[in-house]
């Protein structure tokens, strides 16, 4: 049983945070497009960012800020323009954005972190951003999480938010998070955008280590389409406002906090995979029996990312051969005679030997998952064992539908 409970409040559930989201005119749709998260005090800051060689200006900006200073108070996010591949002017726009929000908040510009999402190659509409900042700051609220979550999305169908609470040192500690992402998601820093707040006190090095591991077990274990964004950013703040003793070394308290951080990240990551462009169901792949966790996750990610597996699930075809083929090309050695594959409760392969199973019932399982009617709502469970090792890992993805092509064929038109 988990050592935490789910609470309301999202990104502003932890003590000492406010958030806001407004319509500034950045999106052609007229929907909310500018978000702000603010800590009442300087917070320890950590980040994980895209590994792409083509990076948005906000990514370079945040990396520079976090290398020089492990603290921040504010995160400003614009939606509509990615400000990636925009040259020197894109960098100057990022700098101006940081300075403008810092001035409005009366804080140092070094305490501001940035994120952007939208069409690659398009600069931020700076006139709209400048005009929107006073309204954004005025909208800050301790109940502003939903507004911020709405203002960071683009092709998402739903907002993504979570907050959990545990007890450390006989005092409640909370972690909240919001995220966006629906396409251009692949397990190579695949957050798109994720923001996490925490009211515990944690040392900078430990907080960064926790976030990196949590990202590996969540955002770096999801895939929608095999593409990695230029803007992927996962930023986490810890402001110490729970008034618990500072966590400075590995131990029971750090492990409890990291487990809750991982749970928050996994919830948001699965929400992104579930909301994949054109998706009708979430796919969860669990691999056991590998040599180590890294190997198990690699196999799981390969299966979840296979276009053939994803297409078969969309077609409600229980074609386990595609699962076996994906596992075999994952780059992880295992003996074929040890391979076991299950789809839901249907055992299809045991000790490398195919088994007879009810294909009609297995297809019905996939159909029911597509409408959220099966045991675990809209989740298709694929379970694979590759041996007797202790390594186990999970990955998440979604099916590949006709709508994915339509959405992306029309993205800029």
CA-nearest of 276, 391, 291 to 333 is 291
Q: Is the pLDDT of residue 147 over 90?
A: yes
CATH of range 282-409; options 3.10.20.340, 3.40.50.720, 3.40.50.300, 3.20.20.70? 3.10.20.340
Q: Global pTM?
A: 0.91
Residue 123 CA to residue 94 CA, distance in Å, equals 9
CA distances from 171 to 10, 126, 197, 253 (A): 19, 43, 17, 12
Residues of the chain with CATH 3.60.70.12: 5-274
Confidence category of residue 408, pLDDT binned at 50, 70, 90:
confident
Task: Specify the residue for token string 């729970």.
Answer: 242
Average pLDDT of the residues in 220-235 = 83
Identify the residue with better confidence: 226 or 229. Answer: 229
Query: What is the number of residues in the chain?
Result: 413
Average pLDDT of the residues in 255-267 = 97
So what's the pLDDT on residue 187?
66
Contacts of 117 (CB under 8 A, 6+ apart): 77, 78, 79, 80, 82, 152, 154, 180, 192, 193, 231
Q: Is the pLDDT of residue 227 over 80?
A: no
φ/ψ of 211, rounded to 5, equals -65, -40
pLDDT in tens, 266-285: 999 999 888 777 788 899 99
Average pLDDT of the residues in 171-187 = 84
What whole-number percentage of the chain has pLDDT above 70? Answer: 94
Average pLDDT of the residues in 281-305 = 95
Confidence category of residue 208, pLDDT binned at 50, 70, 90:
very high
Q: What is the DSSP letter of 152?
A: T
Residues of the chain with CATH 3.10.20.340: 282-409
Q: Is the pLDDT of residue 376 over 50?
A: no
CA distances from 386 to 74, 131, 223, 338, 350 (A): 46, 57, 22, 5, 10
Active-site residues, by number, are 191
The helix/strand/coil state of 320 is helix
Average pLDDT of the residues in 140-152 = 98
Domain 5-274 classified CATH 3.90.420.10?
no
pLDDT in tens, 27-50: 999 999 999 999 999 999 999 999
CA distances from 380 to 197, 297, 340, 394 (A): 31, 17, 17, 13
DSSP 153-216: -SS-SS-EEEEEEEEETTEEEEEEEEEE-SSS--SSS--SEEEEEE-S-B-HHHHHHHHHHHHH
Contact between 272 and 160 under an 8 Å Cβ cutoff? The reply is yes
Residue 283 CA to residue 409 CA, distance in Å, equals 24
The number of C-alpha atoms within 13 Å of 158 and in the hemisphere containing its C-beta is 12
Q: Is the pLDDT of residue 381 over 80?
A: yes
């Amino acid at each position: 049983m988990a050592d935490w409970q789910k609470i309301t409040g999202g990104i502003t559930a932890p003590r000492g945070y406010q958030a806001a989201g407004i319509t500034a005119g950045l999106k052609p749709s007229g929907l909310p497009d500018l978000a702000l998260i603010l800590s009442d005090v300087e917070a320890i800051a950590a980040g994980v960012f895209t590994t792409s060689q083509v990076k948005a200006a906000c990514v370079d900006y945040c990396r520079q800020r976090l290398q020089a200073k492990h603290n921040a108070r504010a995160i400003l996010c614009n939606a509509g323009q990615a400000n990636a591949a925009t040259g020197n002017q894109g960098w100057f726009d990022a700098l101006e954005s940081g300075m403008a929000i810092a001035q409005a908040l009366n804080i140092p510009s070094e305490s501001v972190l940035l994120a952007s999402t939208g069409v690659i190659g398009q600069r931020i509409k700076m006139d709209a951003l400048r005009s929107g900042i006073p309204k954004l700051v005025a909208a800050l609220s301790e109940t502003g999480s939903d507004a911020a979550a709405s203002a960071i999305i683009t092709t998402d169908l739903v907002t993504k938010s979570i907050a959990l609470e545990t007890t450390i040192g006989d005092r409640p500690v909370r972690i909240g998070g919001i995220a966006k992402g629906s396409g251009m998601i692949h397990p190579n820093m695949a957050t798109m955008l994720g923001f996490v707040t925490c009211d515990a006190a944690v040392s900078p090095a430990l907080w960064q280590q926790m976030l990196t591991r949590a990202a590996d077990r969540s955002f770096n274990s999801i895939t929608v389409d095999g593409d990695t964004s230029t803007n992927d950013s996962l930023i986490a703040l810890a402001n110490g406002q729970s008034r618990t003793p500072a966590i400075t070394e590995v131990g029971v308290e750090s492990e409890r906090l990291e487990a809750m951080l991982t749970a928050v990240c996994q919830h948001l990551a699965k929400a992104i995979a579930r909301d994949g462009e054109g998706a009708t169901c979430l796919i969860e792949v669990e691999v056991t029996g590998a040599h180590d966790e890294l190997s198990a996750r690699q196999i799981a990610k390969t299966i979840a990312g296979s276009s053939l597996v994803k297409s078969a699930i969309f077609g409600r075809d229980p074609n386990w051969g595609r699962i076996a083929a994906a596992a075999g090309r994952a780059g992880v050695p295992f003996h074929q005679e040890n391979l076991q594959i299950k789809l839901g409760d249907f055992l299809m392969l045991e000790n490398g030997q195919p088994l007879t199973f009810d294909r009609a019932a297995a297809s019905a399982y996939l159909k029911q998952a597509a409408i959220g009617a099966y045991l675990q709502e809209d989740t298709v469970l694929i379970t694979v064992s590759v041996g007797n090792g202790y390594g186990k890992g999970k990955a998440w993805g979604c099916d590949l539908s006709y709508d994915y092509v339509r959405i992306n064929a029309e993205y800029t038109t």
